[in-house]
Amino acid sequence: MKDTLKHRGMRNKLAEILADKGIVDHKVLDAIRTIPRHLFLDSSFEAHAYQDKAFPIGADQTISQPFTVAFQTALLETQPNHKILEIGTGSGYQTATLLHLKTKVYTIERQLELFKKTNIFFKKMGYRPKKMIFGDGYKGLPEEAPFDGIVVTAGAPFVPKPLMAQLKIGGRLVIPVGNNDQIMTLYIRKSELEFEKMEYGSFRFVPLLEDKN
């Protein structure tokens, strides 16, 4: 598959749709206009890649809906060079969005099949996260902490304590919390012990799964 003017036109339309749905962050909309989402999907979905919808990516997982990616990314309020931890690499589309914002991305995936596939895809595309880890996101990445931002891209039944502990003071954790539906939740670390919590509407994610071992 190639990236063509036609794809670019569809991306521009998608960015307009997301702006209409309330995404105001220009850098995030610019990422949507730039990243060739159709290349993150199986070729059978090419015609639909720029609809604001989630699609299957194998191993029972989905690429998040563009609105969701844009919403979560905007809540992170990243600055260039921020250290960001992503839980749930999946197709890598959210990772690519964070890289477009010039952040240093550490990303964890627990499905070996997806981990391998996306690893190869990133090399082919020239996307360079700082680290891609095959492992359990519930534990975060203590050896690289603290982070300016942590984004969880699967539905968490509860907020894993290690993720809170791995935030910088001033850092942001964006996590959908709940079982069937999730409430998008933002925690901002105010001090060693204090966190501000904000909630933003209902979303639906595949579940953040506990370690298989």
Q: Which residues bind ligand SAH (CB under 6 A)?
A: 61-64, 87-88, 90-91, 93-94, 108-111, 114, 136-138, 153-154, 206, 208-209
Q: Which of 194, 212 has the CB closer to ligand SAH?
A: 212
Q: Can 43 be counted among the known catalytic residues?
A: no
Q: How far is the CB of 67 from ligand SAH (least distance, A)?
A: 12
Cα pseudo-dihedral 207, 142, 80, 198, rounded to 10:
50
Q: Which of 109, 148 has the CB closer to ligand SAH?
A: 109
Question: Quick one: which of 35, 6, 33 has its CA closest to 19?
Answer: 33
Which residue type is seen at 157? P
Q: How far is the CB of 123 from ligand SAH (least distance, A)?
A: 17
Q: Which of 169, 202 has the CB closer to ligand SAH?
A: 202
Which residue type is seen at 169? I
Q: Which of 61, 190 has the CB closer to ligand SAH?
A: 61
Cβ atoms of 208 and 154 within 8 Å: the answer is: yes
Question: Quick one: which of 199, 175, 11, 158 has its CA closest to 96?
Answer: 11
d(CA 138, CA 142): 11
Q: How far is the CB of 138 from ligand SAH (least distance, A)?
A: 5
Which residue type is seen at 19? A
* CB hemisphere CA count around 42 (13 angstroms): 11
Q: How far is the CB of 137 from ligand SAH (least distance, A)?
A: 3
Cβ atoms of 151 and 76 within 8 Å: the answer is: yes
Q: Of 64, 91, 191, 202, which one is the catalytic site residue?
A: 64
Cβ atoms of 150 and 166 within 8 Å: the answer is: yes
Catalytic residues: 64
